[in-house]
Structure 1
Amino acid sequence: MSLIPVTIITGFLGAGKTTLLNRILKDNNHKQRIAVIENEFGEENIDSNLLVQDDAEQIVEMSNGCICCTIRSDLVTALGTLANKRKSGELNFDRVVIETTGLADPGPVAQTFFIEDSVASEYMIDGIVTLMDAVFAMQQLDEYEQARQQVGYADRLLISKTDLVSDEDVEILCHRIRHINPHAPIHTVDFGRVDVAEVLDVHGFNLSSKLDIDEGGHAHHDHSHDHHHECGHDCACSHHHLDDINSFVFHSKKPFDPNRLNDFFDRMITLYGTQMLRYKGVLYMKDADRKVVFQGVQQLMGTDIVEKWDENHPPESKLVFIGKNLPKTIFMEGLHDSLAD
């Protein structure tokens, strides 16, 4: 049986997470039954017609076949309960959406899927989606580390309430969050209305050989809102904000020495693991005809060997790191020193 995909929705207080969830649950186009694990401190409750409620475990089945589970113990217990009920046929759902609290660091939630065998055997993270309130996001990014972390972890960034600010304000915000995380596409949402494909089936944590990074180290962004906001890379608007979370990319056409690279990652994770929010890449290894891909969250990393190198494209390594105050020079020099002679 294939693993159950999980989407983590995060964002600061008032950004519109529950509004987005309600839109997804009412959208019949995706044809999927969704189990929502909702934090009990959410600003508002999931709006649904309740059919069945288990008071002990706070599991609610909705009229459209979706499930709502309010966490009263820990995430591992909630996921285990849902998986067991699904296997027994008591509950029927295709995927899980987790809504974090507004002040949450998404890291520990994501780490659960790496470190807990009982969870990893049933589930896999599809992606982390971060909502931002266009009215207050700049202030929140200035004042709260959690807000900057939520941007750093994101596979998708959704900006709400753009109708309440000017196009220039949206442009400045887009530029700033691009500076923190240039690898997550940015979209705007209008009262939770967004293409569900931008939230579900993101494949942000899939170990695949595709890493959308161009030579400049910036992902290709798709802005799907009425007024196209494009902030040039030479815009000075972000220089007023000394964000402690940013990104850098390493690439090389020379192969890595496996032992040297393992030693490098061991050292970096020991020294800077808690600061390494997200990191992933495609590796060209010495004497190997297949790609090695990896994906990491803080101190936890997973790797896999995938398809052979395409003979029409020369092999090369590409690695992206998003983290808090990571010493770029140390990482770049260490990776360079890990290349084969």
Structure 2
Amino acid sequence: MTQPVPVTVLTGFLGAGKTTLLNRILTEQHGKKYAVIVNEFGEIGIDNDLIVDADEEVFEMNNGCVCCTVRGDLIRIIEGLMKRKGGFDAILVETTGLAKPAPVAQTFFVDADVRAKTQLDAIVTVVDAKHVLDQLQNNEEAGEQIAFADVILLNKTDLVSTDELAAIERAIRQVNSTARLHKMQRGDIALDAIMGLGAFDLDRVTEIDPHFLPDHECDDACAHHDHDHHEHDHHHHDRDHDHVSASGITSVSLSTEKLINPEKLLPWLNDITQARGPDILRLKGIFAFPDEPKRFVVQGVHMIVEGDTQRDWKEGEKRVSRLVFIGKNLDRAELETAFAACAA
């Protein structure tokens, strides 16, 4: 069976530096065959001498990559790419600067044919260090793009001071406490830092970084809080550390050492995503069920939720169930109570 092609969704606010990054992918001799799907090819500004072959929508570059323009249905474009000879190492889909990432991400869940042939690999958000604080204050889309990210590329770091950069990182972590964050200038980033990561696969990420879903997120404000954590306390709800951004997006992390009853958990997750889907940008969870040697992993985008058993719990590994919501209008107390009620 052919392996599904990994898909990276590239997002970022207007002027963040997506085009510079795309130019590198389409022109550098990196030895990979990437398909890049953009909204308007003209905006990329590729020298025509670099184009080997072109039709109305597909431009074949001299480094083996292909650039496609989306003038209609994204699903149709992807299906067309999958029929091309030779295949691709990965597909990268650019969203417009004002677009929310959710509809693009959902494409890879809702269409059966696309889902069978591709796998959402990561949502990568390019952030303009010089302007991100203003954007978070004034533009809902900027906050959602950061909240959705599996990888954040903090670009133009040479345009801000060390103190400003620290404040920017804190602001980003208030919106998204779990994404990988890379600092860069002029879009200069190793492509393997953004492509082929499996970052949307929560299980793989937690194998690489066991602290990916943190029990506790800490910033400078920690100095002002008292902490009294005990190993025998089975529910950890970091009440003082909800992450709130100026755009109204928060992240709520819950964890428990009690086993979880799937007959309680799964209907609750289904109910809450159906009722509150527009407000739930991302949902990620790892759960320990009774008499189940494998970890159960859940991923959600708005009203779409899917879960499956993944690898075995390792010998000596603490069976902590963790659940993270990223979204708007999240009621921590309500989520705590409902999650606690899912205990076996």
**What's the TM-score bracket when you normalise by the shorter of the two chains?**
0.7 to 0.9
Partner deviation per Cα, 1:120-147 (whole Å, 9 max, x = no partner): 0111111011011112211111111110
Structure 2 equivalent of residue 69 of structure 1: 68
Mapped to 1, the partners of 2:164 and 2:332 lie a distance apart of 30
Q: In structure 2, what residue type is equivalent to 1:128?
A: I
Task: Give the 3-state SS of the residue equivalent to 2:251 in structure 1.
Answer: strand
Task: Give the 3-state SS of the residue equivalent to 1:265 in structure 2.
Answer: helix
Instruction: Tell me the CA shift for residue 235 of structure 1.
Output: 9.0
Pick the aligned partner of 2:296 from 285, 292, 313: 292
Task: Give the 3-state SS of the residue equivalent to 1:310 in structure 2.
Answer: coil
Mapped to 1, the partners of 2:147 and 2:247 lie a distance apart of 11
Matching of residue 36 in structure 1 with residue 33 in structure 2:
no
Structure 1 equivalent of residue 250 of structure 2: 246
Structure 2: stretches of 5+ with no match in the other structure: 225-242
Matching of residue 266 in structure 1 with residue 270 in structure 2:
yes
Mapped to 1, the partners of 2:155 and 2:133 lie a distance apart of 13
Instruction: Tell me the CA shift for residue 46 of structure 1.
Output: 4.1
Mapped to 2, the partners of 1:6 and 1:287 lie a distance apart of 35
Identity of aligned residues (%): 36
The 5 Å alignment of 1:56-95 reads 58-85=57-84, 89=85, 92-95=87-90
1:119–1:145 distance in 2 versus 1, CA, 3 Å: same
Stretch moving more, 239-248 or 289-298: 239-248
Matching of residue 126 in structure 1 with residue 121 in structure 2:
yes
The 5 Å alignment of 1:181-192 reads 181-192=176-187
Structure 2 equivalent of residue 13 of structure 1: 14
Cα pair 1:279 1:319 within 8 Å, conserved: yes
User: TM-score, normalised to structure 1's length?
Assistant: 0.88
Structure 1 equivalent of residue 232 of structure 2: none
The 5 Å alignment of 1:112-123 reads 112-123=107-118
Cα pair 1:127 1:155 within 8 Å, conserved: yes
Q: Compute the RMSD of aligned alpha carbons.
A: 2.3
Pick the aligned partner of 2:337 from 330, 333, 336: 333
User: TM-score, normalised to structure 2's length?
Assistant: 0.87
Matching of residue 50 in structure 1 with residue 51 in structure 2:
yes
Mapped to 2, the partners of 1:47 and 1:13 lie a distance apart of 22
Task: Give the 3-state SS of the residue equivalent to 1:61 in structure 2.
Answer: strand
How many residue pairs get aligned? The number is 320
Instruction: Please identify runs of 4+ aligned residues in structure 1 that moved more than 6 A.
Output: none
1:235–1:6 distance in 2 versus 1, CA, 3 Å: farther
Instruction: Tell me the CA shift for residue 197 of structure 1.
Output: 2.3
Q: In structure 2, what residue type is equivalent to 1:309?
A: W
Instruction: Tell me the CA shift for residue 41 of structure 1.
Output: 7.8
Instruction: Tell me the CA shift for residue 274 of structure 1.
Output: 1.4
